[in-house]
Chain A
Amino acid sequence: QLPLQESSPGLVKPSETLSLTCTVSGGSIFSSNYYWGWIRQSPGKGLEWIGSIDYRGSAYYTPSLRSRVNISVDTSKNQFSLNLKSVTAADTAVYYCARPLTPNTVLRGVIWAFWGQGTLVSVSS
């Protein structure tokens, strides 16, 4: 098991920035070159990959969110973070952090084997 735990900001106001952190326990974030990811599930909708980052800070984002999203890594704290700016009600979702089964998989073959339990973020004034 590789416990992953998302922070829980809860409520974010429209037009503000959603900020989440994932803390990795039971293993070092830079022990192998995994691409750590953020995935969300909006109410009544399916899962959506947001983006992934490795310990060096090399990041990939889904095209539909690329203009608003930034993912960063803090190896000293064994954490990686998600910032999503200019949020609207459509960004209300359960946000998960996750790690693939094997390292160096991001362009092809990514298998999400380890997940946090998710945190609900609501966008509302």
Chain B
Amino acid sequence: DIQMTQSPSSLSASERDRVTITCRASQTISTYVNWYQVKKGRAPKLLIYGASSLHGGVPSRFSGSGSGTDFTLTISSLQPEDFATYYCQQSFSLPPTFGQGTTVEI
């Protein structure tokens, strides 16, 4: 299985901060990376797919980059509704695997 290593596991930030989360794959996976936002009791939300494509309806303050083994999710100006846990996921090969998550806290 391809391992996805996310960092940091948690971070504290303030409203309007720029936040960056990284994800490293255990082997090269081109741009087969997606990012999700998860809040307790809510359906997880797809943010970014194909490493850098913004899913419909997702605010433009979210962006993704990277290819090969190293990927980044950036929130350019943190909003109150962005406090959540974020996961990367590789879709290069079965089984699709997720990072361990990054919790963004106030």
Report A's interface with B, CB cutoff 8 A: 4, 41, 45-49, 60, 62-63, 96, 98, 101, 105-113, 115-118
Contacts and interface: CB of A to CB of B under 8 A. Distances in A.
Contacts of A49: 95-98
Interface stretch (B11-19, B40-48, B67-75, B76-84): B40-48
Nearest to B36: A112
B32 A46 contact: no
B22 interface: no
Nearest to A112: B46
Nearest to A98: B44
A107 B43 contact: no
The winner among A4, A105, A112, A116 for most chain B CB atoms within 10 A is A112
Contacts of B63: none
Interface in B49-106: 49-50, 55, 87, 89, 91-101
**Most A C-beta atoms less than 10 A away, residue of B1, B34, B91, B97:** B91
Contacts of B97: 49
Given A45-B100, A47-B87, A112-B89, A106 B94 contact: yes
Contacts of A98: 44
A112 B36 CA distance: 9
Nearest to A120: B41
Given A47-B87, A109-B32, A111-B49, A118 B43 contact: yes
A48 B98 CA distance: 7
Which one of A41, A46, A48 has the highest number of Cβ atoms from chain B below 10 Å of its Cβ?
A: A46
16 contacts: A41-B38, A46-B87, A46-B99, A46-B100, A62-B95, A96-B44, A98-B44, A101-B49, A106-B94, A107-B93, A108-B32, A108-B93, A112-B36, A113-B49, A117-B41, A117-B42
Contacts of A117: 41-43
A61 to B, nearest CB: 8
Contacts of B96: 49, 110
A16 B76 CA distance: 47
